[in-house]
Amino acid sequence: MKKYYLILLIITLLFACSKDEMDRTIFVWDEDDGNLPAYTEWGYNSFGAEYEREYFLATHNIVPCKIVYKDDQLQFSLSGRVSGYYGREMTLIFTFPATQMYREYPDLVQLNNVKIDLAAENCTVKMLQGDQETILDVMGGELYFKRAQLLTIDDAVNRVILSGTFDLRFLKNDFPTYMSNGRFDLGITQKVFYAYQ
């Protein structure tokens, strides 16, 4: 299976016309659940999670992730659609204390193997749908940055690849709601990283 991913990466890089092509979303579908992208660590700019009986997925026409560092906190957002390409747009915004300084996007490698308890008092999870922003009443969950690595091209840092998993249990209109089997594989560049002092 690993050979398959390596071959796919080589083919993708060979056919890429420029470094900007690496910003595209690439889906490698999961063998066990064909509605979700597989967990990868290649910077494919994809994510996905089960959302009750629907799916929350990255798309080709929405920037999948933006990260903001401000006031000693990191804001990590995932933007996509629920129920596939023609579904409704949604953004999940995870805000948590930053234990390190993040002045430039390469500093994000400090997130390697970091687990965030989303039910902790110092964490906030928001859901944005259309113009409606809701702070979720989180009952449990975890955001796990399993791997953070630098990608260099021609001896220059090109991006940080953040790969990991997430799950979330929360109350929505006083009813228990969940997201499960969440996974992300994102190539973070200066275009989507913002730092304010």
Q: What is the pLDDT of residues 15-62, one digit of tens each?
A: 444 556 788 999 999 999 999 999 999 999 999 999 999 999 999 999
Q: Is 0.85 surpassed by the pTM of this model?
A: yes
Query: Is the distance from CB of 106 to CB of 160 less than 8 angstroms?
Result: yes
Give the pLDDT of residue 83.
Answer: 83
CA distance 93 to 101: 20
CA distance 5 to 11: 10
Give the pLDDT of residue 99.
Answer: 84
User: Where in the chain are the domains?
Assistant: 2-196
List the chain residues with pLDDT less than 50: 4-11, 13-17
